[in-house]
Copies of this chain bind each other. A is one copy, B any other.
């Protein structure tokens, strides 16, 4: 064919991280037997959907089979019943949203990728290490990316101090994937102030908000001024175990505008043109997840993962290993002991403790020499893993 393709796609490096991990684990298993290997590399939930969510899904399925209750095309921005539930969820944090500022989606990843559609060529500011979708989706659009560096000195919570003062699209993820580090009010305020001073837009990914157990903000909109500079993208994947069910949302405050143009109008147009709404049964499931009973079940599941995270954190503290996360996050991000590299520690851990984790360098340059363990294994496996870590660290 003689058509032109998007040449920016060639800028994206193939990420072989998880296939490399799988390959090394396979080779090890072949040579040494695969028994007793504990997988702490996964970033996916493992507990099943709560019964209130399952009932809602099944009930909505039955509705779709009856003429009186069948539903055709959903509203492109989400059913009001779900937008109401999301609005209430924010209200419990003291955040007041208008219904039309809430856009239901099939998950945070789609919205993070698609939000680039409504923006022009901007300078992009992304923390390192972080979820690779922020940079990949911007590389695809030919945008110029700068990184703000997370490291031991700032506890993997980089601040805007020292960043050149100009307008950026700033991506933030708090609690962070992969470091689990979570900004407090002051830390977020610094970024909001920076955005307001420079005319920047913050794209705030709050997918892990429900893991927060202390008084840190769950939403960027808990910070004064955020409505004038921030979009928030959230998901039920980690809150309610929806990774396989697929539902999330994006909040675009009415105030946000660039020149004469309101961002909310652009996103309305984008979604009305390139998206046809979320499956009705899934929206009913999401509504159930955000009900009083549903959220109680979410808290129970998250308490289970959090207990795992606390056990991992405890052994690292005991052994004097530097780490972030483990408190407000299912992730524990540790500095590889004895100056080992990420992959070196991966092999060390696999060989000597039969534990699989994720080398930190898969999440950015600043991840070199770091390592991610996750709390999504069972309690029993996590307990066993902790005992093994105690012996080899």
Contact = CB atoms under 8 A, between A and B. Distances in A.
A169 to B, nearest CB: 6
A226 interface: no
A119 B3 contact: yes
Interface string A102-144: 0000110110111001111110000000000100110010000
A186 interface: no
Interface string A12-23: 100000000000
A362 interface: no
**How many protomers of this protein does the assembly include?**
2
A64 B54 contact: yes
A257 interface: yes
7 tightest A-B CB contacts, nearest first: A113-B274, A2-B199, A4-B120, A54-B65, A57-B61, A44-B72, A2-B167
A245 interface: yes
7 contacts: A1-B257, A2-B198, A3-B120, A3-B169, A4-B122, A4-B258, A73-B243
A244 B71 contact: yes
Interface in A352-383: none
Contacts of A54: 61-62, 64-65
A251 to B, nearest CB: 16
A229 interface: yes
A3 B279 contact: no
A120 to B, nearest CB: 3
B106 A276 contact: yes
A55 to B, nearest CB: 8
A225 interface: no
Given A1-B229, A5-B258, A51-B65, 5 more contacts: A6-B120, A46-B67, A49-B65, A58-B58, A113-B273
A312 interface: no
Most chain-B Cβ atoms within 10 A of its Cβ — which of A112, A275, A285? Answer: A275
A193 to B, nearest CB: 14
B51 A72 contact: no
Given A9-B118, A140-B273, A53 B73 contact: no
A261 interface: yes
Contacts of A228: 1
A122 B2 CA distance: 10
A244 B72 contact: yes
A47 to B, nearest CB: 7
B62 A5 contact: no
A282 interface: yes
A277 interface: yes
Nearest to A112: B274
